[in-house]
Structure 1
Amino acid sequence: MKRLLLLFVCLGLLAGCAGAPAQPAPTPAATPASTPVPEPTATPDPEAAWAEAAAAFRQWLPAQPGFENFSFAVQEGFPYLICVNRAASCVTVYADDGAGQYSLPYMAMVCSGGEDTPLGSFSTPVSYDWRLLSGPCYGQYATRIDGPYLFHSVPYYTQHKDDLEYDQFNQLGTPASLGCIRLAVVDVRWIYENCPIGTPVVIYDDAENPGPMGKPETLYIDPADETLRGWDPTDPDPANPWDDSYLDGTAIRSRAAAADWEAFKNSEAFTQNLTPTDLQGWSHDSAIEGTRG
């Protein structure tokens, strides 16, 4: 009897096991797809683009009326060619490429010319610390281009660095002068100190293309700020109340120009030979009557 009872128990257990639902096999976890890592892209070299644009400009300019005989050949003793785009209010300086051509875009500066600014090719004949202009008013670091037309700073009401015509400064980058080429102090001083008398200058019109390096931005002077408004923000004079961060101006500089500029800022020459703030620095070219502003 005990054996029969044990047999029935075993059979019941087997029947229960047979009726139990099968456990589902575990679903393997999905493996997330790997995100492709993009290949690093090389940063475009602006100097390569500038050189390409400069090559196109050197072909374009001699094809324009009045410039058929212009040559980009380097003139001995003059390391730079200054090209002024009157229509775009932009100055581009080209440097010697070592192969006898002014083909290297060196720096670009924002400027203001005017309807009376002459077109053509010139050589600078004389320069001045300060120059009496039409108005009368005064300009710092003036370099004559031709006749009554000069490179100079934005005009000052008097021959004092804290008496800037700030409303005229805010027009840099637009046609605003009586014919001269106005620039910020940092830029016109660069011409004054780095471009010897006799430097070749070209003035042309191309409203669509400011130049191979592009057109720099402009700075703004708040007319309501009586502390700052009388000064050009880029004037290196220690008395200038503007922050030193403005001393670089807005010029677009090539690597060579940037290195030269940093070396100059770190030299004693940077704060030497600054234009005086009184009439001691006034000079006059008696051979040429009248100077535009």
Structure 2
Amino acid sequence: MCLRGSLHGPSRCGRNEGRDLSLDQPLLRIERLTKRFGGVLALNDVSFSVRKGDVVGLIGPNGSGKTTLFHCITGFLEPDPPSHVEVMGESIKGKGPDGIALMGIVRTFQELRVFRRLSVIENLLMSAQQYQEDKIVPRFLNTGVIRAHEARAKERARELLELLNLSSSAGKTAGSLSFGQRKLLSLASALMPDPQLILLDEPVAAVNPVLIDKIKEFILDMKCAGKTFLLIEHNMGVVLDICDRIVVLDHGERIAEGAPQVIRTDPRVIDAYFGT
């Protein structure tokens, strides 16, 4: 099963660390990201980049600034000077959540955001509409455009549900799903607008091992389709299994960055995060 125009090739592509991307422009570039809340410095001069097709893990103790960083790069918080964040060379400054979403960045949240009274497939169709540019008037003037758009959205929704083994639940209300299934639904919803970069906030938290494997498989399948992920996750087994690179925060500062095999033995990371 593949997403038309998106998912091709094998279900595993391996890590990108062997690929020469030194001349590539990063998909996401974060430079000197800083955020203060009164006298508290939540993020202090954090810099790193995310290359297209990578899965990058963002780890650190509770309170280290991970979710604040997500808020800053998706427009939910305004970074403080001298912060600079750009997507494919374009600054996100002043764009807000909607404008940044239209640049191709979507995210999930720790608290699941689904329409519990709508069906599973209706949730996905709502997500497709949510990230569309304002073309309401042209669509109303051309019913053919409306029908074509709806047909494409329904096809994509069905394909995503099949990939996540949720096809049999397409007509069920989202509220009737298990917690783990709603996690899968939130992943599918994030992919509906065909984004460039997907930010996942603890995608496997409180999920049973079977569904954890399904989520890992889905992320790697979408990576093979060319999608890019930046994820916050406390399950280090998952992070080490699927991430090409890992960025480590502690007290709002980046203390380490590198391949999983390097990060797991870094003394600073062991001291700050893994413990001794």
* TM-score interval, normalised by the smaller of the two chains: under 0.3
TM-score (norm 1): 0.25
TM-score (norm 2): 0.27
Computing the radius of gyration from Cα coordinates, the structure with the larger value is: 1
